[in-house]
Amino acid sequence: MHTYDNKQHHLPHIHVCYQDTEAVISIADGELLAGKLPPKKLRMVQTWIDIHTDELMQCWNLAVNGIEPLRIIPLC
């Protein structure tokens, strides 16, 4: 997440980087909003979003107000 990052996509989302690809994914439904990811990696991120939706929304609310979001445990 980036602080003050609600202008382009207008809804809660995360930025994901994998190798040489980048994507923007909706927190609400896991929809790919921009960019691309390999299908297996996209499904992994969507699963992670499902597990951490509440935490991600808390982080989103912090980030859009210019406050550094909290860290969330990654899927490994």
For residue 70, tell me if it sits in a domain: no
pLDDT of residue 46: 97
- Asked if residue 40 is part of any domain, the answer here is yes
Residue 1 falls inside a structural domain: no
Sign of CA dihedral 70, 55, 13, 4: negative
Taken in order 32, 38, 23, 76, the sign of the CA dihedral is: positive
pTM, entire model: 0.83
1-7 average pLDDT score: 60
Q: Look at residue 76 and tell me whether its pLDDT is greater than 70.
A: no
Provide the residue range defining the domain that includes 46: 13-64
Report the pLDDT value the prediction gives residue 6, as an integer from 0 to 100. 60
Residue 74 covered by a domain: no
Does 76 map to a domain?
no
How many domains is the chain partitioned into structurally? 1
In a domain, 73, yes or no: no
Q: Which whole number is the average pLDDT over 43-59?
A: 95
- Please check whether residue 17 lies inside any domain of the structure: yes
